Amino acid sequence: MELPVLYAMRSSLYSAKARSYLVKQRIDYEERPPGDPRFPAEIVPAIGRWIIPVLQTADGRIIQDTCDIIDHFDAEMPPERSAKPPAGVQNIVTRVLEMFGSEGLMRPALHYRWNFDSVNMPFVGEDFGRGLMLPGGSSEESSTFEFGPEMSAGDDVAARAKISEFAADRMRALTVDFGVNPETIPEVERSYLEFLSLLSAHLETAPYLLGGRPTLGDFGLIAPLYAHLSRDPEPSLIMKREAWPVWRWVERMNSPVADCGEYGDVASDLFADGSIPPTLKDLLAYIGREFADEVAAHVGFIDAWLDQNADVGEGDVVGGRPYRRSLGLVTWNWHGHEVTTNAIPYRLLHLQRIQSAFEEADPAAQEEASELLQQAGLGGLLELKARRRVVRSDNRELWGAEQQPVVPA
């Protein structure tokens, strides 16, 4: 029987999210790196851009995007194994945590990978080179879609080094584009250590964010916490030294068994009665301080962009091309620093997932969730909207239907 194939890399942030879900749900699959010649020959032409992770199902269907991959498999999961809690407060909260993990930890993830070359690069360089070009690869058959034929000239070692260096230069530029610079680095590091402390405190009480099994929030957070912040040498030492419970959770999220013996006998149930414990409320308040203004600034920028580009219609590819993820640069204030980053409409998809979970909840759960998120400074996640939705179709982000915008004043 053919197995699903996950095209991914160990060093890839979003690959970690998809892989962890497959592992925790004990779904048999094969993993191939993008350096496999089948990736540029079959996958890239089908989706119109070089991007990972991509899942090819056993029957040949191609699914790109971690949310879509998880949704594909989770639709067949029994409730007691689903990554999505029943409609209610926990279902809303886990999607907030998913969004923060997928989007809100980019600055520490990029900083701790690309600003410590003497410690990280012997490891990261090998990781990138071996994932992007297999032994004996050539400009015709290796994963050179983004890199150009000249990158694969020479023997395997030299070619891998060229590809790795080229990719590293691009990612260093992206690090700056996400607001990491000499002025913000001290705040990036302070903020990350605070996050580790709060997550550690919560994981002292339970093996996963919502109790005895992982949910969407766990899979969102594992993306940066595995690929960058626990594997790369410099941040790995920080996590092991400062946040042992987080380190153990990272190990647990990559094990097909519960792997939580240090908690004693733990059932695979979520917290009783849909409750949110105080330690998780503290983590939500941190997310409110660190991330809420960023989300609001992005929604405001995207809405203004849509207002200025009135010719954009429903069904148009966001940005005009599948590989163009940013609409421009947006600036907001973060702990006394003016931070400028790419404005990425994809984030609207996460907002829509949160808002859909809220709409599915009954009135009592809506009231409880609204109060909880307002207290955490995250009430805007239930309301913010640009004047068009973003939808996904055929593995692309498209502009969706018009709606009444709700943007920051």
Question: How would DSSP label each residue in 98-114?
Answer: HHIIIIITHHHHHHHHH
C-beta pairs of 229-232 under 8 Å, 24+ apart in sequence: 229/105, 229/108, 229/109, 229/112, 231/10, 231/11, 231/127, 232/112, 232/113, 232/116, 232/120, 232/123, 232/124
The helix (H) or strand (E) run that includes residue 36 is none
Q: Span 359-365, mean pLDDT?
A: 97
Count other Cβ atoms within 10 Å, centred on residue 119.
15
342, 326 contact by CB (below 8 A): yes
Tell me which fold the domain 5-74 belongs to. Glutaredoxin (3.40.30)
pTM of the model: 0.94
Domain with CATH 3.40.30.10 in the chain: 5-74
Instruction: Write out pLDDT tens, residues 94-111.
Output: 999 999 999 999 999 999
What is the 8-class DSSP label of residue 136? Answer: T
Determine the average pLDDT of the residues in 251-271: 95
pLDDT at res. 380:
97
Please give the C-alpha separations between residue 399 and each of 184, 327, 390, in angstroms, as whole numbers. 33, 13, 5
Q: How far lies 152's CA from each of 45, 137, 163, in Å? A: 20, 7, 7
Whose structure tokens read 């919560």? Answer: 202
Q: What is the pLDDT of residues 133-182, one digit of tens each?
A: 887 654 344 444 454 444 444 457 788 788 878 888 888 888 988 999 99
CB-CB contact of 214 with 253 (8 Å): yes
pLDDT tens figures, 272-301:
999 999 999 999 999 999 999 999 999 999
In the predicted structure, residue 250 carries a pLDDT above the cut 50: yes
Q: Would you call 30 exposed, middle or buried from its count of C-beta atoms within 10 A (0-12, 13-18, 19+)?
A: exposed
Over residues 83-87, mean pLDDT: 96
Dihedral in degrees, nearest 10, Cα atoms 129, 134, 137, 140: -90
Round to whole Å and give the CA distance between 374 and 288: 9
Q: Using the structure block, give the residue that is written with the tokens 């520490």.
A: 108
Answer with the residue of higher pLDDT: 85 or 173. 85
Query: Per residue in 24-72, pLDDT tens?
Result: 999 999 999 999 999 999 999 999 999 999 999 999 999 999 999 999 9
Give me the chain's average pLDDT, please: 93
Q: How far apart are CA 189 and CA 242, in angstroms?
A: 13
